[in-house]
Structure 1
Amino acid sequence: MSIHITHPIGPILLLDDVAMGQMSLSALFIMPGGQQPPPIIAPTGTVVPVALALFDGATVWRARFALPADRASHYAWNGQQYQVAGDLTGDLRLAYVSCNGEEVGDMDREGSERNAMWARLRDDHRRAPFAVMLHGGDQVYADEVTRGHPLSDDWPDRVPDNPRPDALESLRAHLRQRFFDRYAALYGAPELAWLAARVPSLMQWDDHDICDGWGSLPRSRTESAVGQALFATARDSFLLFQHGTVAGDLPARFADPQGMHLGWVITVPGLRILAPDMRSERTRHDIIGPGGWTMMDAEGRRHAQGHTMLMSSVPLLGPRMSILESLMVAIPRMQKYEDDLRDQWQSRTHREEWRRILRLVRDMARRDGHDLTALSGEIHLATRAEMDLGGGLHLHQLVASGIAHRAPPKGWARFLGALAWLGEDPLPEHPIRIRPLPGQRHRYVAQRNFLVLERRRGAWQAVWDLEDSGRTPPLPL
């Protein structure tokens, strides 16, 4: 059954680009029936929203406007004023979140339990505002959208060979509405809604924004008519609800205006936020496709002052997963988890590509003469790692996952910690070490969490907020 929208949802602020001292923003609205949202009142004038997409009983609208990027400011909507921190030039705070949901039954969870960490992040913003909110993947858990339609009910275990065109059209309509239902439920949650109206978001997708393991599943699934219908609908939904746009109208921060891949970069004084697309071109053998590598190689050649934050939806540094992969292949009842391991950079399948991106990161750091930070989610644990890049430079990896996904058993965290003892050095001259969070004994923490990145007088530090343990001491970057 579709969600019945009875009241407006929004505004949801999305950061389109930063240029010439201005933040270009999109404000997204989900309105009941044929209702039109009131205009945005911005410092540059009044902006009337335009309709982007029509769904059963609701319409999605967008208003594009600008705010200063060098100072705090505000906008107004529907008689209410919204403060936006906005200053990206000096001291600032960024929030990083991932994994906003669960694979099974997420729509049925009790709201205050599900969104407890969103409430904590909201309260943190009230104490000291965030300029931008980074979402590192799995903003929506769409694994159950395939249920309820005969073509996709058994996805991905069984896929029909030659579905009729009218059945495929029916499937697309079914999937489109199911994606809408999930995004509307997420953005309607009061804890997230309050933040999203005041803190512009930048989002990168991962597999659950499509389906569990997208790209690591067999080609017989992903390249089937049903698989392609699922991907196309997920992509349209991702553009609409996570970027406030549609195909052919991508904001300037995207590297490929045609959207063959959806990687993007934002550059502001002293900071570059770089988010390659690790899903659009993904196959069982490649994490980043040709378009994505063109973008990454170009960024690797470009000088960037200050600090680079590289968003890698799956952790760039990790333990020796190849051992676990070999065990799973050898044990028949464990083979169903092979796709989960193939999803990781550390999979033996991706060894050469992993070396390629690590060399690229090393060369970027050396060219610019500063450390580089990789931000990741995906594993439903909090952890960190370091890679010695030589010359006193380091790659810091910070993993914060998840904001809503409940933590796995502590035994899994302990097992990964034990695996990390073995070490993993794909570039032997640059050792990788998995480190405990500040104030924690173990390398992996099985608690819901989010990450706060703060720049003070040009120096960066990171703090994790852990559901049970609270805030960690700051980690200098």
Structure 2
Amino acid sequence: MTPKLNFYDPERRPWPHSRLERTSIVGHTTPRSVRLWFRVSSPGNYVLAVSREPLPTYGRPLVVAENDRYQLRAIASDRCEQVPTVAIAAVEMTPTTDLTGVVDLDRLEPDTLYYYGLFHPHRDRPWELPEDEPLTFRTFPETATEICFGIYSCHMPYDNRELVNIHMWDAFYRELNNANARLVLGTGDQVYVDGTPELSIWHWLRKVQDHNPSREQMVEWYRDIYRGYWGIPEVQRIFRGFPNYMMWDDHEIVDGWGSYTRDELAGVLDVSWKLRDRERHLRLAHQMFDAAKQVYHEYQHSHNPPTDDAENRFDYEFDCAFCSFFVLDMRGNHDFNRKEWGALGVQQWQRVQQWLDSHYQSDSRALFIISPVPIVHLYSFFINNIDLTLMGYQDDQRDHWEHRSNWDERNCLLDKLFEFSQETGKPVVFLSGDVHIGAAFTLSHDRFPEAKIYQLTSSGITYAELTPFGRWLLEQLVPERGTLGDRQGNPPYHFRKLAICRQNNFGIVRAIVREDGEVAIVYDLYGNDPNSPKETQKIRIEFDRLS
């Protein structure tokens, strides 16, 4: 009898909370358009309604055309209410994409609040969303003098099977609203497919690998992870209320993906009492990567700005008023075994150059580069000279831009950015996660004394694995100032640490056009207060006021 290979089992392996059934995500937004993502509870043909007025989500909805405009009528036994809509769209939800789908809306007005809802016209209880609170989104402004947004990474809120640190999502939501944030950036590890042993699909694969699980079964495992990690109401509230831009990192695939040798990757599926079957293990690992890529597209990338699937591209760019963003894919093309361009790949690097060149004469005043792994983090000596292979941390060292295998690629990127900032006067800001510490740095180089290059890191919002000693140790490995590692004879890049937070954290970034026309960058780093559970402490760094 063939055993069941389902990862999720409601009796033997239940999640410690309800799994995601239905929700929405506000995705890529412009002044006149929005991309909305949905997951629904059952297959079918749904209708999306969008209005400037709150939607009457009771009774039976009916869409009627009046004077070339659509009206939504909500009909119940005791009342009938009608609202004008600005958009009505049909969307079919099927199991092919795990009951997820996106709807693109255009011809909207800039800087305008809209209400939205989803219903199934042929059900007894038609309204799928919203379930309780109204659902809204706001389009981007065409012009502004201040843009504010949130950054976070490393959502892993499980201590064994206990759910912890969820108050950080509540605090994040509160501060986003207080700051009138325009968007939210998830800079990697929005889920952990290999978090705790009980909730790791790679632990599960090791157990069932002899039964040759299919790619389709692996896809279901990854979907189970997303439905678990995103089943938390506090997470969904941010996804539903702000434009969300996301990029994957290793834990959406497996810890250290792209930073292993082939033997090390095969070893991820080793069990101690069996001889390694290298080629079979590599085949299984790459099947898992293909499954991870499909599900990442379903749950995350599908609501980002569209990219060409034929190019196998996940990096992307977008604008919000005077700010421009380029989101790097540090995993889809990452291969430590490739001798050149092992982190980004040649084609992605060419797109970065084209994007940067286009902003020499553009109206953008500040550039942000989302690099899931930060440019500056630990001591170069520790990254490059301490062998942690026996502890299984060699992949973490190779992940870093500071690892010598990435120096040449990193230098190409920094050279281009420093030259750009020197010539234009525009600040360039790296936004990162990954490292389980929040931090802020300035970078400098003797050849580009007027360049304004910054590194802002937020990690992780709910990560629960580090002990207080582990957090303290990580903090000691982050230098106050120094130079980046480099080839002999190359003039080095310098850095200076401005702030660090070793607690769970998230960040609020402000870009402000001052009266003199210069752009100031302000970073508020909110960390969990170790002395007051469920409270946060704020560190503010104002880059235009640095001496």
What TM bracket, shorter-length normalisation? 0.7 to 0.9
Residue in structure 2 matched with residue 45 of structure 1 by the alignment: 87
**Counterpart of 1:218 in structure 2: which amino acid?**
T
Residue in structure 2 matched with residue 424 of structure 1 by the alignment: 484
CA 1:50 to 1:34, structure 2 compared with 1: closer, same or farther past 3 Å?
Answer: closer
Deviation string 1:365-415 (CA, Å, 9 cap, x unpaired) is 234321110001100001121112524222110011001113552332342
Tell me how far apart the structure 1 counterparts of residues 335 and 498 of structure 2 sit (CA, whole Å).
Answer: 32
Tell me how far apart the structure 2 counterparts of residues 307 and 140 of structure 1 sit (CA, whole Å).
Answer: 30
- Give the TM-score normalised by structure 2: 0.73
Residue in structure 2 matched with residue 349 of structure 1 by the alignment: 405
Q: After the TM superposition, which residues 66-465 of structure 1 pair with which residues of structure 2 at under 5 Å, given as runs? A: 66=106, 68=108, 70-77=110-117, 78=129, 81-88=134-141, 89-90=143-144, 91-101=146-156, 108-110=161-163, 113-143=164-194, 144-149=200-205, 152-153=206-207, 170-220=213-263, 221=265, 224-244=282-302, 251-252=305-306, 254=307, 256-284=308-336, 285=338, 286-303=342-359, 304=362, 305-328=364-387, 333-334=390-391, 336-389=392-445, 390-406=448-464, 407=466, 409-417=470-478, 419-420=479-480, 423-424=483-484, 426=486, 429=491, 431-437=493-499, 444-457=500-513, 459-465=520-526
CA 1:362 to 1:3, structure 2 compared with 1: closer, same or farther past 3 Å?
Answer: farther
**Counterpart of 1:404 in structure 2: which amino acid?**
T
Instruction: Say which SS state the counterpart of residue 258 (structure 1) adopts.
Output: helix
Tell me how far apart the structure 1 counterparts of residues 521 and 138 of structure 2 sit (CA, whole Å).
Answer: 18
Cα drift, residue 259 of structure 1: 3.8
Residue in structure 2 matched with residue 441 of structure 1 by the alignment: none
Cα drift, residue 292 of structure 1: 1.1
Cα drift, residue 467 of structure 1: 0.9
Residue in structure 2 matched with residue 25 of structure 1 by the alignment: 35
Deviation string 1:267-326 (CA, Å, 9 cap, x unpaired) is 243111111211111111411112211211212322242100100110112343344432
Cα drift, residue 100 of structure 1: 1.0
Deviation string 1:92-128 (CA, Å, 9 cap, x unpaired) is 32000111116xx568332xx2322111111223434
Task: State whether residues 386 and 395 of structure 1, in contact with CA within 8 Å, keep that contact through their aligned partners in structure 2.
Answer: yes
Instruction: Say which SS state the counterpart of residue 134 (structure 1) adopts.
Output: strand
Tell me how far apart the structure 1 counterparts of residues 384 and 511 of structure 2 sit (CA, whole Å).
Answer: 39
Residue in structure 2 matched with residue 64 of structure 1 by the alignment: 104
Tell me how far apart the structure 2 counterparts of residues 290 and 324 of structure 1 sit (CA, whole Å).
Answer: 25
Tell me how far apart the structure 1 counterparts of residues 481 and 425 of structure 2 sit (CA, whole Å).
Answer: 30
Tell me how far apart the structure 2 counterparts of residues 9 and 127 of structure 1 sit (CA, whole Å).
Answer: 27
**Counterpart of 1:403 in structure 2: which amino acid?**
I
Deviation string 1:205-227 (CA, Å, 9 cap, x unpaired) is 11111100000012243782112
- Give the TM-score normalised by structure 1: 0.83
Instruction: Say which SS state the counterpart of residue 463 (structure 2) adopts.
Output: coil
**Counterpart of 2:183 in structure 1: which amino acid?**
V
Residue in structure 2 matched with residue 2 of structure 1 by the alignment: 8
Instruction: Say which SS state the counterpart of residue 140 (structure 1) adopts.
Output: coil
CA 1:67 to 1:214, structure 2 compared with 1: closer, same or farther past 3 Å?
Answer: farther
Tell me how far apart the structure 2 counterparts of residues 375 and 14 of structure 1 sit (CA, whole Å).
Answer: 19
CA 1:23 to 1:475, structure 2 compared with 1: closer, same or farther past 3 Å?
Answer: farther
Gaps of 5+ in 2: 1-6, 11-17, 52-84, 118-128, 195-199, 267-278, 515-519, 530-535
Task: State whether residues 371 and 393 of structure 1, in contact with CA within 8 Å, keep that contact through their aligned partners in structure 2.
Answer: yes
State the number of aligned residues: 438
Cα drift, residue 354 of structure 1: 1.6
Cα drift, residue 266 of structure 1: 0.4
Deviation string 1:247-268 (CA, Å, 9 cap, x unpaired) is xxx844x3x4424231100024
Task: State whether residues 375 and 398 of structure 1, in contact with CA within 8 Å, keep that contact through their aligned partners in structure 2.
Answer: yes
Task: State whether residues 94 and 130 of structure 1, in contact with CA within 8 Å, keep that contact through their aligned partners in structure 2.
Answer: yes
- CA RMSD, aligned part only? 2.9
Task: State whether residues 419 and 451 of structure 2, in contact with CA within 8 Å, keep that contact through their aligned partners in structure 1.
Answer: no
**Counterpart of 1:203 in structure 2: which amino acid?**
M
Gaps of 5+ in 1: 155-159, 438-443
Cα drift, residue 228 of structure 1: 1.3
Cα drift, residue 69 of structure 1: 6.8
CA 1:319 to 1:67, structure 2 compared with 1: closer, same or farther past 3 Å?
Answer: farther
CA 1:263 to 1:34, structure 2 compared with 1: closer, same or farther past 3 Å?
Answer: closer
Tell me how far apart the structure 2 counterparts of residues 372 and 75 of structure 1 sit (CA, whole Å).
Answer: 35
